[in-house]
Structure formats: structure tokens, C-alpha cells
Chains A and B, each alone.
Chain A
Amino acid sequence: MSTLRAQQFSSADIEVIASLSISRLSALPPDPSNRVADDPAAADLGRSLFNDVRLSSRGDISCSSCHQETLGFDDHALPGKGVGSTTRRTMPLVGAAYSPWLFWDGRADSLWAQALGPLEADGEHAISRVAVAHLVDRFYRADYVRLFGPLPPLASLPAGAGPFGTPVEITAWQALDAKTKAEINQVFANVGKALAAFERTLVPSRSRFDDFADALVAGTASTSLSPLEQRGLALFVGKGQCTQCHSGPLFTDHFFHNTGVPEAEGLPLDLGRMPAVATVQNSPFNCLGPYSDARPTDCAELRFIADNDSLLRAFKTPSLRNIGQRAPYMHAGQFADLDSVVEHYNDAPWAKIGVSELHRPGMTTEEKDALLAFLGSL
């Protein structure tokens, strides 16, 4: 390969590059739906709960089973595996607190509501909300009471009961009166709020790209990126059109797009955001629900949720930070490596379901190599 000359960036390029630097990351947005969101004691309780394998039907799965801290809160599994199997990739947690919508399809509108989903999902923790309340009572009572007040009476309740789960658990849940259900839901929501307080402490760290971007803005020379990586950066903000969705310091617009990614083999049909809109609107754990600490005026994202046709098979734009360590890629791990991802975006195939937003950037082999090199710097 010929030696690359120093990359020149236009002033417009530099503006976009500056907008991607972690130096431009705003303070964590408040979560008015969670009154303990920024309480260190809640984060401590959340960390304990996050790592507690007792919060699963078999006693061997915790949040950290799939969100492994040593692997960047990832498991690299295809798809994620808990008690059973899931249908999508484990999502990154670092920086998740910046997103108004959680999960690949955004079916939760807060970190705490998100945290409740895997607990009851049959392929993940597969534990019922009454069982969670019993565990809190037995192992975390003092910490819980300090943060949230007294637990409701639990002694007469069955070991497990919840609206999802086994037929026995569902039947037991249906037998409970409305007041008891509401009390259990409140405990369950509070567990989510403690987990969310912990997850809010997971914010991204500086990368080589950030050092380069800040030096570029300051007008000083930087060797933080190699000439090839700098060429890739120019493509990222230019011909590659990557920043149309991967924008801002977290390299995401926090929204949902159909990019024509193929179906994952062996997994059920996945329509993405479109069916999730009703799910989050109907969730008792949403921003407007009885377990939220927010005022209705704090819930603009939910009140004005988009539900148009372009959301068919649209999935959330993931952050690209640490993307080099996050194989396999896409919502169901359809692509084993970043080469395949870049190839997909360069090919921009038509979507089999819905309409892909991609336009062919027409990158050469050398350009794709440069873009790949740049992605490794994030």
C-alpha cells in the first residue's frame, strides 16, 4: 500500500468531529421517573443486585452473567443466553442512561423499566416478581427500607407469582387482590430503580479518537490516530454517511432505523420498533404509570411517541464506542465481524421487510479498510 499523506479535514469536518468527542458529552440527563436515580446508596444496592445470581429461577443467572464487566458488560453470545436463549444480542450498558429508549426496540422508556424485563423473561432470569420481593426481604431488607420505606407483608404470599413465567406462577398472580399486586409491583419497580442507579454510574471513558478530535479542534498536531485511521475518520464523517445515525459523543442518535440487515437464522421473525410502541405505551412501568416518580410533563418522549411506518423492522442505533470489542454485530449478532458490517453498509441491500434507509456510499476496498481501522480507535 502506498504511504498515506496526512489527512486534511475541512472546517465543516472538524465541526462534526468535534461533536463526536467525549469532551462534548453532556452531564447525565436526570431521570425524574426514578427518585433514587442519583443516590449513591441506591447505586450500591443496585450493584449488589446486578451481580446476584439468586435473582433467577435456577439461582445461577445474574445481570452480570450476560453483561460481564470484564468484557465491557457484554457476553459476545449469539444470541444472549440466560436460563434459556434470547432472540437478540446483549446490549451495551455503558452510556445507556443517555438514551430515552431502552432495548433494541425501545420497549422500555427508562433504565429501571428496562431492568425489569430480563428478570421475568423466560430465556433470561425467569424469576417472578413475587420471588424477587421475597429475595429482597430476605437478603436486602435493611438497604431497601432505608431507600424506599417498609416492605409490604409478604409472609402469606406464594414463593413465586407474576403475570409472566410458569403457569403456576401466572395462576398464583391472578389469585392475588389488586392491592397486593400493586404493592408487589412497587417493590419490583424499586428493584429496577436501584439497578438503574448502578447502571447510571457506567459512563464511557476516553478513547484514542477523543484525544485526536480534541487536538484537531485545538489546532495541534496529534498522532493519536494513524494516517490510515485518520483517513477512516474522514470517511466516517463524509462519504460513508455514518454520522447520519451514529452522531454525538456516544455515536448514536438514540433512535430506530431499518438498515436492511438480514434475518437471523433460526430466530423468529423480528419486526423491531413497530410492535414495541404499543408495548411501552401499555407498560405499567412506563414514565406515566403508577410506579413512576415523574410528573406527566416529564414524560414528553412517551406522550409524543412516534408510531409511523418507517419503524417497521427498525432497531436502535447502538453506540459505536468500544465497537471493536463488541462482536458479533447487529441486533441478533447476524455479522461475525466488523468487516461484514462495513460490507453490508457499503452494499446497502433492500430490506426484505420494511424499507431500508441506507444509500450506497460506494467505498473502495482501500476506503473500507480505512473505515475499519478508524472504528478500532473508538
Chain B
Amino acid sequence: MFLRNAVMFATTLLLSAAPVASMAQEWTVDADGQIYRLHIAGAEPVINKIDTWTLTLTDPAGSPVEKAVITVDGGMPAHGHGLPTKPAVTEDLGEGRYRLEGVKFNMDGRWVVKFEIDASNGTEEIQVALDL
């Protein structure tokens, strides 16, 4: 399977910044697979804060992919451990948008979040690497 990583580099300043409201600015990541394109929107990840992301799933032409089953896994490959939570899609918001709750990162370093997407066009895993 062809996997493409979207890599975001956040500076270590994230670690030291106080968790104030201004941190909750819009933060997005785009990751393209072969049969799906994933757009992630939420607050910029801050260590030890549980976040909710909005996922938008489209096909390569940009049409929304509805009624997808999306499961999320991941961890820190360099450490051999998984995510500190088990994020889950809790609501299908329609028009290819899905609410993902329970996203949390608890240490600095490289994290990989894997999205297993199962919808009418087929099954594909898209990985997103995040550097906190």
C-alpha cells in the first residue's frame, strides 16, 4: 500500500508555552493517500491536553467521502509505545466530516498517527507524523 506522510514540525516552544486560550488557534494537516485525502483541523497539539479534531475525508477529486469507518492508532515508533489515549470517531458530521475525540500526546518527539479508513472506495491506511 502506498503511504504518504504529512509531517508537521512544531518547535519545542510548544513545550514551554503556558496553555492559554490563544494557543487554540486553527491548526490543520493534510495527508493524501492513493484513494482518500484526509484533512485534519483542530487546536495545535499541546502536551498532555486532550483534543478533539475534525477530520474531512475526500477522494482525490475532492468529493466528500461519506459513511466512512475511521479507526485511529499510533504511537512513538522510536520508543515502541502507543498513544496515551485511544482516540475514536464519535460523530459523523456529514459531507465527509467526522469528529475525532480523545487525541492526546504526552511527550515531545515524533509521533505517528495512523488512520485506517474503510469506505465505499476501499480500505486505506493514511499515516501522519507529528513532531512535538
Interface residues, chain A, with chain B CB atoms under 8 Å away: 12, 15-16, 18-19, 24, 26, 243-245, 247-248, 253-255, 257-258, 300-301, 303-311, 314, 355-357, 359
For residue B19, CB closer than 8 A to chain A, the reply is yes
Chain B binding surface SS class: loop
B126 to chain A, nearest CB (A): 19
A47 to chain B, nearest CB (A): 29
- In-complex Cβ contact of B107 among A12, A247, A300, A359 (8 A): A247
Of all chain B residues, the one with the shortest Cβ separation from A13 is: B12
- In-complex Cβ contact of B47 among A248, A308, A357 (8 A): A248
Residue numbers in B under 8 Å from A308 (CB-CB): 73, 75, 81-83, 86
Residue numbers in B under 8 Å from A307 (CB-CB): 86
Chain B window 101-112, contacts with chain A (Cβ cutoff 8 Å), 1 for yes, 0 for no: 110101111000
For residue B5, CB closer than 8 A to chain A, the reply is no
Residue numbers in B under 8 Å from A309 (CB-CB): 82
Q: List 18 A-B contacts (CB under 8 A).
A: A12-B12, A15-B15, A16-B16, A18-B16, A244-B79, A244-B108, A247-B108, A253-B47, A253-B48, A257-B79, A257-B81, A300-B85, A301-B50, A304-B86, A304-B102, A307-B86, A308-B73, A314-B81
For residue B88, CB closer than 8 A to chain A, the reply is yes
Whole-angstrom distance between the alpha carbons of A244 and B132 in the complex?
Answer: 11
Whole-angstrom distance between the alpha carbons of A355 and B18 in the complex?
Answer: 34
Whole-angstrom distance between the alpha carbons of A309 and B81 in the complex?
Answer: 8
B116 to chain A, nearest CB (A): 14
- In-complex Cβ contact of A310 among B16, B75, B102 (8 A): B75
For residue B87, CB closer than 8 A to chain A, the reply is yes
B49 to chain A, nearest CB (A): 10
Cβ-defined contact, A16 with B15, below 8 A: yes
Whole-angstrom distance between the alpha carbons of A258 and B87 in the complex?
Answer: 22
- Indicate whether A306 sits within 8 Å of B86 (C-beta atoms), given known contacts A12-B12, A16-B12: yes
Other 13 A-B pairs with CB < 8 A, given A306-B82, A314-B81: A12-B12, A15-B13, A15-B15, A16-B12, A16-B16, A19-B16, A244-B79, A244-B107, A253-B107, A257-B81, A304-B87, A310-B75, A359-B78
Of all chain B residues, the one with the shortest Cβ separation from A18 is: B16
Cβ-defined contact, A300 with B48, below 8 A: no
Residue numbers in A under 8 Å from B87 (CB-CB): 304
Whole-angstrom distance between the alpha carbons of A18 and B106 in the complex?
Answer: 17
Residue numbers in B under 8 Å from A359 (CB-CB): 78
Interface residues, chain B, with chain A CB atoms under 8 Å away: 12-13, 15-16, 18-19, 47-48, 50, 73, 75, 78-88, 101-102, 104, 106-109
Cβ-defined contact, B107 with A310, below 8 A: no
Cβ-defined contact, A26 with B83, below 8 A: no
Residue numbers in B under 8 Å from A253 (CB-CB): 47-48, 84, 106-107
Residue numbers in A under 8 Å from B88 (CB-CB): 304
Closest 4 CB pairs of A and B: A304-B102, A308-B82, A310-B81, A304-B85
Of all chain B residues, the one with the shortest Cβ separation from A300 is: B50
Cβ-defined contact, A303 with B101, below 8 A: yes
Residue numbers in B under 8 Å from A300 (CB-CB): 50, 85, 101-102
Of all chain A residues, the one with the shortest Cβ separation from B82 is: A308
Of all chain A residues, the one with the shortest Cβ separation from B104 is: A304
Residue numbers in B under 8 Å from A19 (CB-CB): 15-16
Of all chain B residues, the one with the shortest Cβ separation from A29 is: B48
B10 to chain A, nearest CB (A): 12
Cβ-defined contact, A244 with B109, below 8 A: yes
Residue numbers in A under 8 Å from B104 (CB-CB): 304
Cβ-defined contact, B86 with A310, below 8 A: no
Cβ-defined contact, B15 with A357, below 8 A: no
- Indicate whether A15 sits within 8 Å of B12 (C-beta atoms), given known contacts A244-B79, A247-B47, A355-B80: yes
Whole-angstrom distance between the alpha carbons of A311 and B87 in the complex?
Answer: 16
Cβ-defined contact, A310 with B82, below 8 A: yes
Whole-angstrom distance between the alpha carbons of A356 and B80 in the complex?
Answer: 8
